[in-house]
Amino acid sequence: MSQFCSLTNKVALVTGAASGIGFACAEAFYRAGANVLLTDIDSAAVQRAADSLSGGAGRALALQQDVGDEAGWPLAVNCAVEQLGGLDILVNNAGIYIGGALLSNSREQLQRLNTINVESVFMGMRAAAAVMQPGGAAGRGGSIINLSSVAGLIGVPGHSAYGSTKGAVRLYSKHAAVEFARFGYGIRVNSVHPGVIDTPMGAQVFDDLVEIGMAPDRDSAKVIITEMIPQARLGSVSDIANMVLFLAADESQYITGQEFVVDGGASAA
């Protein structure tokens, strides 16, 4: 019997893969049989991440990449094609979080969020689709998974700037999915919307609640957020990676243009 969600003979590119959700996705892909290119702005950290999978050679390679730099995207995609044998999966995971009340946010903060959280998704989809589509350097079609957030679906105090960028990711994914399908590219595009995940970035949400006066300290903020989640726990990186793995695999081949919420029921309560 074949392995469920096998990625054997597939090549994946995962951004922001040095740690957290990105590394969990890369690890899940690697274990499912894929060749994986891990990219991150932190060159030393992403090399350590790749080394932990396969010694930094063979089926897991590392590449330094600033996803907000347009020139870096063709380099990353070409690295996957030339050194790993193609490109079948792109995970636009790299992103940043800047919280704060709307009246305290600056235009510069919003511009920075847009560059990393939205423009990088555009540049990544464009670069990947160019090689994935028929006649491209890989030419096998594939799956693009864009990491958004529950803050891109619902309103949350202290998240307006961040949430606006994650909402853009959701709709960008839908438009790209319909366009790529209609144009016959054979490329699926979906978005994944994590709730509060137990990572350093997730912990910033607790600090943000304190800053805007909704909790007296970080521990209290964590309790407040956890009590809002029906499953009564923060999410883990593996919770997200398991969803991303499914969307990357052929088992989800009839799914495109959809959003997948992984938040322990928080947005349903």
Name the residue type at position 267. S
Which of 30, 97, 162, 185 is an active site residue?
162
Q: Are strands 187-194 and 142-147 parallel, antiparallel or unpaired?
A: parallel
- The C-alpha angle with vertex 113 and arms to 64 and 116, in degrees rounded to 5, equals 25
Specify whether the CB–CB gap between 28 and 22 falls below 8 A: no
The residues pairing with 37 across neighbouring beta strands, listed in sequence order, are: 13, 61
162 tagged catalytic: yes
Type and span of the H or E element at 175: helix 160-182
CA angle (110 as vertex; 107, 112 as ends), nearest 5: 110
Q: Which of 258, 199, 240, 181 is nearest to 29 (CA)?
A: 240
Nearest to 33 by CA among 8, 54, 51: 8
Closest Cα partner for 249 from 57, 28, 37, 20? 28
Cβ(81)–Cβ(87) under 8 Å?
yes
Positions marked active-site: 162
